[in-house]
Structure 1
Amino acid sequence: MTDYQGDAAKSPLELFEKLTEQGDKVRSLKSAKAEKAEIDAAVQLLLKLKVDYKKVTGQDYKAGCPPSENSLGSENGLAADGNNDEGDDEVNPWSVSTNNAKGVDYDKLIVRFGSSKIDQALVDRIEKVTGRKPHHFLRRGIFFSHRDMHQVLDTYEKHKSFFLYTGRGPSSQAMHVGHLIPFIFTKWLQDVFDIPLVVQMTDDEKYLWKDLTLEQCHQFAMENAKDIIACGFDVNKTFIFSDLDYMGASPQFYRNVVKIQKHVTFNQVKGIFGFTDSDCIGKISFPAIQAAPSFSNSFPHIFGDKKDIQCLIPCAIDQDPYFRMTRDVAPRIGYPKPALLHSTFFPALQGAQTKMSASDANSSIFLTDTAKQIKNKINKYAFSGGKDTVEEHRKYGGNVDVDVSFMYLTFFLEDDEKLEKIRQDYTSGALLTGELKKTLIETLQPIIAEHQERRKQVTDETVKRFMTPRPLNFNL
């Protein structure tokens, strides 16, 4: 059984014919200048059919080139989803880019990845179940996609527990503000649901992918753990672990890794992650290590031998390929599928075409930046949606859809009314780009300063407490 529920039952030829028919329909609607909503719906179906076709055949759809009768997809319907068929967006665990100044088209991404949109009904249900106002990341669509969140809420309403799992790939000493997004939201989830959390530090992954020593990767994990702890997690409900340390100390964790490895073929990981014959074998086997924390009995000190406690994973959507693989494997080794909540990407200062990079100091606001550095970076590098002159801006207004300062405010300005006022004023031209940047600077400076103060209180002993395998406080 796979997580894929599309047209897998259809033959490749039937799917090809359906795709050809849908393509003709889209062209017909466009030439007839049909309503935009009707065209968009037809295009969405076309994109979904292309995904279905690739999952069944393992090949991209090409008009006029029908598949051979023995065309088969990669085993169990798992296939690569790195590049958009339209050539616009590239989204995978190592690279995110788009040609669109507005950023990645997340509606298309939902169709390509086969997840579900977080709609108002789900946001309302989360509010009803928790009795708390939904986090502004949910209200504003920053967390925009999910897998099985309704099932998690069903479980919670039956007074059964679940647990949270998220992670960090420690590739540098300092984290940037974009890295905070999943942890800020995970902290909120931990508080409102009162549940345990495991945080995986994939120092092994960074050693395999980066030109770094094992010692550097492990040290980065320890330093990054301090920033994560500074987000305010409860030590009595949170276990942070380094793969390099925990894998050798937990037989049950490693046994789950081996179970996953046995049920995923080399062809599958090549299809999902784009590995080549020249990649080291560590990369090929790593996805099983990122999958293992999804299963409760990987942590016997927390859950004992219970293997039926469901996991909820808040993460950026570029990590979804790992967990599509995990969800495919889970029922075959007797475990529940993990549920997911996906976030959008935090854009680079230079624009939403890419996400922030820890390797480019000027693309990011780092958690170690001073108030002066924050001000200078925003004023100098933050891409503007304003017009070239004050006169033009006053007359025509700015474009918040491409303005990075406004995008950052949607993440960090909690006041909905104030954010909407800024949107209206900038769009009308009443608010200038310099004034918008000033608002962002005044919003971010205290947030970063407060984080730095909290981090100063996190000692090596504090890190050791969070990273020591131990029971956590929660009700099974």
Structure 2
Amino acid sequence: MADDVESKLTEMNIEAKEEEESEDFVDPWTVASSSVKGVDYDKLIVKFGCNKLDQDLLDRMEKIIGKPVHHFLRRGIFFAHRELKMVLDMYESGKPFYLYTGRGPSSEAMHLGHLIPFIMTKWLQDAFDVPLVIQMTDDEKFLWKDLTSDEARRLADENMKDIIAMGFDPEKTFIFSDFEHMGQSEAFYRTVVNTQKLVTFNQVKGIFGFTESDSIGKIAFPAVQATPAFSCAFPEIFNNRKDVPCLIPCAIDQDPYFRMTRDVAPRMGALKPSTMYSVFFPALQGSQSKMSASDPNSSIFLTDTNAQIKNKINKYAFSGGGATVEEHKANGGDCDIDVSFQYLRFFLEDDERLEQIRKDYSSGELLTGYLKKELIGILQKIVSEQQKRRAEVTDETIKLFTTPRKLKYDY
């Protein structure tokens, strides 16, 4: 009897340890999963306390805009939200919202994963015809990375070129560097300080895991990322109004910032921002790996040539297929872990074509080589077109987007 109890306790301890080891870790700087399929997003929704982007919300959005929603929404790539319904309610009652997203410029060349929030943001801006502010957090990268402030500022300008090249309208879009804008706008800095005054060290310690060894710059930074969610930070655009709702499309690792922002908002007499969250874009080596600017083989960069894209996909893209052709034809491929298929989910717009590829690959009829060939052609086209548009972005173009000004909207 004692042996049975001891055996049962041992089994329970092993199960608990396995569960602990399989627990995903996600914060704004680190994403780690022990599962070959990557992060368990259903668990993450529960852990963060946000809501699933369900079909009812997507149907409602389609009804409002009068056209199908973006394939990122149809396929669950943007999968969670906070109070999206509130933004849609206000929009339907004639109160337009604005969009806010951002980029931390830690590398000269952006990769495909960096494009995801901007693709979604541009679609939302076009579908709803609303203003957009884009924050370049060069100050954050200076604080967290081994970069000088001059280098972080330069990288912000380089990344702006790629963002602008995606086709944003300067009459509807304001892009700003924190380093530059903080000294230009009293209203922006006042909003930063007002936010800082309402957040204690204990709060940011609990949310972000800061310790006494972290610089005071890191501890103060969350208020800077929170500030663009308040319309009063942009008096030129919103005529000093505090009541213009904000929608933030971003990856779910940024949720801690906006949980803090939403907590502060009522005490500032402002509206809580709404959010839409995307899944993570997998590294070429699989969902357990992390894309890194220091590892050029972990992703497809926007500076890659056609030959580099072909080589990276063929050589590094993790396959969900069988070890041999015979095994693959017998058992089929696993689309949930195959990186080429996952990339097609992001960049192949044709739903019927994607579903046919999924069926054929899962059945073993379609081999990994064909899947990679299909992806290579799509990515080469996307990257080469992006490069052509980027080459046309001049310093004057950047100035057009970054000058504080009234946009085309009346408030």
Residue 126 in structure 1 maps to residue 58 in structure 2: no
Structure 2 equivalent of residue 177 of structure 1: 112
Give SS of 1:248's match.
helix
Structure 2 equivalent of residue 466 of structure 1: 401
Q: Could you give the per-residue CA deviations for residues 13-48 of structure 1, whole angstroms, max 9, x where no partner exists? A: xxxxxxxxxxxxxx9xxx9xxxxxxxxxxxxxxxxx
Residue 314 in structure 1 maps to residue 314 in structure 2: no
Residue 440 in structure 1 maps to residue 375 in structure 2: yes
Judged with a 3 Å threshold, the aligned counterparts in structure 2 of structure 1 residues 273 and 85 are, in CA distance, closer, same or farther, namely farther
Judged with a 3 Å threshold, the aligned counterparts in structure 2 of structure 1 residues 85 and 114 are, in CA distance, closer, same or farther, namely farther
Residue 219 in structure 1 maps to residue 157 in structure 2: no
Structure 1 equivalent of residue 4 of structure 2: none
Q: Could you give the per-residue CA deviations for residues 191-243 of structure 1, whole angstroms, max 9, x where no partner exists? A: 01000000000000000001111110000000000000011101000000000
Q: 2-side partners of 1:357 and 1:337: how far apart?
A: 33
Instruction: State the number of aligned residues.
Output: 396
Of 215, 218, 227, which aligns to 1:283?
218
How much has 1:85 moved relative to structure 2?
A: 6.1
Q: How does 1:372-387 map to 2 (within 5 A)?
A: 372-387=307-322
Matched-pair contact (CA < 8 Å) for 2:45–2:51: yes
Matched-pair contact (CA < 8 Å) for 1:194–1:474: no
Residue 140 in structure 1 maps to residue 75 in structure 2: yes
Residue 195 in structure 1 maps to residue 195 in structure 2: no
Q: 2-side partners of 1:420 and 1:157: how far apart?
A: 34
Q: Could you give the per-residue CA deviations for residues 403-445 of structure 1, whole angstroms, max 9, x where no partner exists? A: 0000000000000000000000000000001111111101111
Structure 2 equivalent of residue 103 of structure 1: 38
Q: Which amino acid aligns with 2:114?
A: H
Q: Could you give the per-residue CA deviations for residues 40-96 of structure 1, whole angstroms, max 9, x where no partner exists? A: xxxxxxxxxxxxxxxxxxxxxx9xxxxxxxxxxxxxxxxxxxxx9665211000010
Judged with a 3 Å threshold, the aligned counterparts in structure 2 of structure 1 residues 459 and 309 are, in CA distance, closer, same or farther, namely same
Q: Could you give the per-residue CA deviations for residues 145-201 of structure 1, whole angstroms, max 9, x where no partner exists? A: 000111100011011111000000000110000000000110000001000000000
Structure 1 equivalent of residue 3 of structure 2: none
| Superposed CA RMSD | 1.4
Of 396, 412, 433, which aligns to 2:347?
412
Q: Which amino acid aligns with 1:288?
A: A
Structure 2 equivalent of residue 294 of structure 1: 229
Task: Give unpaired runs (5+ residues) of structure 2.
Answer: 1-7
Matched-pair contact (CA < 8 Å) for 1:345–1:355: no
Give SS of 2:375's match.
helix
Q: 1-side partners of 2:289 and 2:404: how far apart?
A: 37
Matched-pair contact (CA < 8 Å) for 2:25–2:32: yes
Q: 1-side partners of 2:67 and 2:368: how far apart?
A: 35
Of 398, 402, 408, which aligns to 2:333?
398
Q: Which amino acid aligns with 2:148?
A: T
Q: Which amino acid aligns with 1:146?
A: H
How much has 1:475 moved relative to structure 2?
A: 3.9
Q: Could you give the per-residue CA deviations for residues 325-366 of structure 1, whole angstroms, max 9, x where no partner exists? A: 000010011100000000000000000113422221110100
Structure 2 equivalent of residue 116 of structure 1: 51
Q: 2-side partners of 1:159 and 1:313: how far apart?
A: 19
Residue 251 in structure 1 maps to residue 251 in structure 2: no
Q: 2-side partners of 1:227 and 1:313: how far apart?
A: 20
TM-score, length-normalised on structure 1?
0.82
Give SS of 2:277's match.
strand
Residue 303 in structure 1 maps to residue 255 in structure 2: no
Q: Which amino acid aligns with 2:141?
A: K
Q: Which amino acid aligns with 2:371?
A: L
Judged with a 3 Å threshold, the aligned counterparts in structure 2 of structure 1 residues 463 and 404 are, in CA distance, closer, same or farther, namely same
Q: How does 1:333-372 map to 2 (within 5 A)?
A: 333-372=268-307
Q: 1-side partners of 2:141 and 2:180: how far apart?
A: 14
Q: 2-side partners of 1:470 and 1:149: how far apart?
A: 28
Q: 2-side partners of 1:106 and 1:388: how far apart?
A: 29
Structure 2 equivalent of residue 271 of structure 1: 206
Task: Give unpaired runs (5+ residues) of structure 1.
Answer: 1-26, 32-61, 63-83
Matched-pair contact (CA < 8 Å) for 2:175–2:401: yes
Q: 1-side partners of 2:189 and 2:21: how far apart?
A: 40
Residue 323 in structure 1 maps to residue 258 in structure 2: yes
Q: 2-side partners of 1:358 and 1:176: how far apart?
A: 8
Structure 2 equivalent of residue 457 of structure 1: 392
Q: 2-side partners of 1:114 and 1:398: how far apart?
A: 34
Q: 2-side partners of 1:94 and 1:87: how far apart?
A: 19
Q: 2-side partners of 1:266 and 1:336: how far apart?
A: 23
Q: Which amino acid aligns with 2:185?
A: S
Matched-pair contact (CA < 8 Å) for 2:22–2:35: no
How much has 1:273 moved relative to structure 2?
A: 0.6
